[in-house]
Amino acid sequence: MTTTTEDGRRVVPTCAQVVLRTFWEHYKVSAGTDQREATAVLELMAKKNLRGTFYHIRRLAISHYYAEQGKRRNKDRVIAENLTIEDDAGWERICPPWCVNKKDGWCALVHYWTEDEEFKARSIQNKANRGSGGTHNQGNKPFPLYEKDMLAANGGQEIPRIQVWQTTHKKKELVEGKVVYYGKTEESMSSYSKAFKPLHGEDSNSLSKPLDEMAVMISGGGKLHGRISILNAVHKPTITLPWIRHMTSSSGVCMPPRPRRPTQTSDDARMAEAYEQLHEEFQQKMHEYEVACSASRQHDREQTKALFEALRAGAPPPLYVEPLVVPPLPKMPTKTEFLAQLYGGTPVSALPYC
């Protein structure tokens, strides 16, 4: 399938372009949503799912390779023992059925796994991030389902979400009679408790109270690398660290400084501080953008509902109310772009992040 450009040239689209085009043939964006923004989100999620698919295919192929040799290696053992296939012939021999007629594609995928330096570096970093002792004890059960089971086991009595999260990060084995947690769970819980008490009283127990979003953001220093330190991917914060700083500036609540990487020179420190400030401003604008989008969608739903109710009652349609103005999608420059602007003489406040 080819497409024709404005100057009459015939171009063969890439697989990614075909996926996007096919998707929009079956779906459409809601009223008031920018098509380009929706496509950008779709492309981002497609790339994420593709990486997950590659990861699964690689582990499955290695498992099949060892099964041919009479050695049972499930996915958990492949990950724990960091198993791989050393020779190219081994990779070619276990080419999956869905890839039989596309050997060149399989060879390119194998080359990506075994030769690509960027993939190797990212794989090593991800392995170090995961650690060797696991990250939680809930297995493949989603957190909401685990939370529901805990609620049922507790006779239907409500359990604070923070307490459920702590339970999922508790190791089953005791060490010298003491409870041990995965990773930095204990450190994160301690920071959360310290941030919780000034907000609710020194005698308050953070585990017995509902989750405090402000304490979560303060204890973790905001969303470092896009992640919160507690209940990440489970709870989506509705406030940002700059907003908290603004609201608590006169209330006496102690805001700990955001952790920063040590720098070698004063210039590096100033550059890092300026970029960090820019990122915090971006987070604040992103929060405002999400609130505006939510309000715009709610406005569209109310307008549509009012119209259908009028049609159902045989009344004239209601007066049209102009939709709320949604600001443009904020954009955060990369560090390379930031440095180019910074050393090019452009003030930091004038950088095109929105």
For range 88-105, the mean pLDDT: 82
Q: What is the pLDDT of residues 314-331, one digit of tens each?
A: 888 788 777 778 888 888
Q: Which two tokens stand for residue 285?
A: 């604008």
Average pLDDT taken over every residue of the chain: 80
Do residues 322 and 300 make contact, with C-beta atoms less than 8 angstroms apart?
no
pTM for the complete prediction?
A: 0.47
Categorize the per-residue pLDDT at 352 as very low, low, confident or very high, splitting at 50, 70 and 90: very low
pLDDT higher than 80, residue 301:
yes
pLDDT value, residue 269: 72
CA distance 65 to 43: 33
CA distance 216 to 213: 5
Categorize the per-residue pLDDT at 165 as very low, low, confident or very high, splitting at 50, 70 and 90: very high
CA distance 172 to 180: 8
For range 75-101, the mean pLDDT: 78
Q: What is the pLDDT of residues 186-241, one digit of tens each?
A: 889 999 999 899 888 888 999 888 999 999 988 888 887 778 888 888 888 888 88
Residue percentage of the chain with pLDDT more than 90: 4
Q: What is the pLDDT of residues 246-273, one digit of tens each?
A: 777 655 555 655 555 544 455 567 777 7
